[in-house]
Structure 1
Amino acid sequence: MESESTPKLHKAPRSDVTQDQGKFRIRFNFPGRNHPDHDDHGYGPLSTVVESFMDPDTLISMHPHQNEEIISWVPAGVMRHDDREGNELVTDSEHLLVMNAGSGFWHEERTLADDPPLRMLQIFVRPHSLDLDPGIQHGPIEGPIDNEWRHVFGPEGSEAPFTVRNDVHCYDVRLNAGESVDLPTTAGRDTYFYVFEGAVEAADTHFDETESGLLVDADDLPVTAREDSVLVAFRIDPDAPVTRRGTIGR
């Protein structure tokens, strides 16, 4: 009989939850749906990982967010951000943007006509409390090192370069074909990962581009690239207190 402490890896195929607005298209990935016995589309504080596509010369006009933390991760190309606080910011492979929306934050996004087509992730984290002070973080992020996890963001008080207001850490890695790394895990935490590019294998399970896995009750698990790959992983406290009143990331 399998013990409750036996590591479990749950795979989800490519999500079919999409919205098509012509020059702006999105695909919603719900980490809670990886787990067959989970009744929440999110998984603890990680609500949604949204794959976003913007064609050149696209404007997403000014709109509000409340009670969610929104992280824009741009591996290539540029995403241009303006907001009602007077910020005009460019997020690209060398910069990260975190909107701690709190009680309310208005922004718009755009690409210019001579910008390349954009594919990025927008990550929605549920905060621990409602109506926190709104704010924004934007700045350079340490360059990636092949085959090593890079710490992208983490909870307030952690050593992460950018912070969110709940117990979820984010990492990314550029993994060369044939190379392996252990998923970022620790006792009492679970790990959700998303294959942004390429294909990998973990625990004799194959994951293609845009597929995802959820590792539960494990101290470590190696993942191996079957071709050059880019992965994003989240180390999550599944029992962290959360709110569910975000504009999008409920």
Structure 2
Amino acid sequence: MLQKINNTMFLGNGPIKILYPGRAISKTDTGIGSIGRIDHPEIHGNTVIAMHPHINDEILSYFRTGKAEHSDSEGFVKTIGRNTLMLMKAGRSFFHEEKIIGEGEPLEGLQIFIRPGKKDLQPEVIFHDLDSMHSENNWRLLASPDAETKFQFSSQTWLYDIKLLINSRIQLPKLPKNNLTCLLYVFKGNVKINEEIELNKKESLIIKNEDVMIGTLDKEAELVLFVTDESAEKFDGGMYSGNQL
């Protein structure tokens, strides 16, 4: 199965666009497996997103330009940006605030809402300083359910990224097990899948049990790959990651 999600599926008229990927294929679930929601913010200038709650969400902040100062109910205060990522595991209750530092480039990236494996887990905040901002022409595993990654989801979820250079082609990474569902998201640039499906910025492709070849067109591309086991246990009642239907 290959199902394209056009950028018209995004909700929101402000600087944060919201994607519920399940809306493209289902009338009963706004998510796909443990992939609950993907936000794509593009925020210019100094902005404060005031202290607000999360319950039973696991949120990975993946900002590629700009900076934000994070503070939360667990007592952490840290600036995050292109080389410093953050995973907030809200569990039963968690509050946080973001102060967008507006000097220079705008804040752009993804806030990724993953469904936890169980309800009401212990809250936790993890920061990860990347060795380099990009992984060129090589899939980089950023998060998984396993100890092999600094970021560990409580559900059967994996997250990869790659910067695919001009005139480059690549297949999906070797997946950890069979019968997984992939969501390929174009953060920047454009790509062509199997020489027939073109994806532009903010568009994505659901991939199930298909071999695909991803190639760049006239520019380099930054891609994020979400992988989920739809049959595995997860809690779909989270405040933001949960099913909205």
Same fold at TM > 0.5: yes
Shift of 1:55: 2.1
Tell me how large the CA RMSD over aligned residues is. 1.6
Q: 2:215 matched to which residue of 1?
A: 224
Distance in 1 between residues matched to 2:135 and 2:18, nearest whole Å: 28
Q: Is this contact kept in 1: 2:135–2:161, CA < 8 A?
A: no
Q: Is this contact kept in 1: 2:179–2:208, CA < 8 A?
A: no
Unmatched segments (≥5 aa) in structure 2: none
Residue-by-residue CA offset, 1:71-114 (whole Å, 9 max, x unaligned):
00011211220112221111111111000000111100011342
Shift of 1:180: 1.0
Change (3 A) 1:216 1:40: same
Q: 2:140 matched to which residue of 1?
A: 150
Shift of 1:128: 1.4
The answer to whether 1:78 aligns with 2:72 is no
Q: So what's the TM-score if we normalise by structure 1?
A: 0.89
Q: 2:197 matched to which residue of 1?
A: 205
Distance in 2 between residues matched to 1:152 and 1:81, nearest whole Å: 20
Alignment of 1:98-113 (within 5 A): 98-113=87-102
Q: Is this contact kept in 2: 1:28–1:51, CA < 8 A?
A: yes
Q: Is this contact kept in 1: 2:68–2:101, CA < 8 A?
A: no
Distance in 1 between residues matched to 2:103 and 2:36, nearest whole Å: 33
Shift of 1:130: 0.6
AA partner of residue 180 (structure 2): R
Q: Is this contact kept in 2: 1:30–1:48, CA < 8 A?
A: yes
Q: Is this contact kept in 2: 1:65–1:105, CA < 8 A?
A: yes
Residue-by-residue CA offset, 1:36-55 (whole Å, 9 max, x unaligned):
x5632100001111111222
Number of equivalences: 237
Q: 1:42 matched to which residue of 2?
A: 31
Unmatched segments (≥5 aa) in structure 1: 1-7
Identity of aligned residues (%): 29
Q: Is this contact kept in 2: 1:15–1:27, CA < 8 A?
A: no
Q: 1:242 matched to which residue of 2?
A: 234
Determine which of 212, 215, 223 is the counterpart of 2:207: 215
Q: 1:165 matched to which residue of 2?
A: 154
The answer to whether 1:58 aligns with 2:47 is yes
Q: Is this contact kept in 1: 2:67–2:101, CA < 8 A?
A: no
Q: So what's the TM-score if we normalise by structure 2?
A: 0.91
Shift of 1:115: 4.8
Structure 1 outlier segments of 4+, above 6 Å: none
Q: Is this contact kept in 1: 2:36–2:240, CA < 8 A?
A: no
AA partner of residue 22 (structure 2): G
Determine which of 4, 7, 14 is the counterpart of 1:14: 7
Alignment of 1:21-40 (within 5 A): 25-35=15-25, 39-40=28-29
The answer to whether 1:175 aligns with 2:167 is no
Distance in 2 between residues matched to 1:49 and 1:31, nearest whole Å: 8
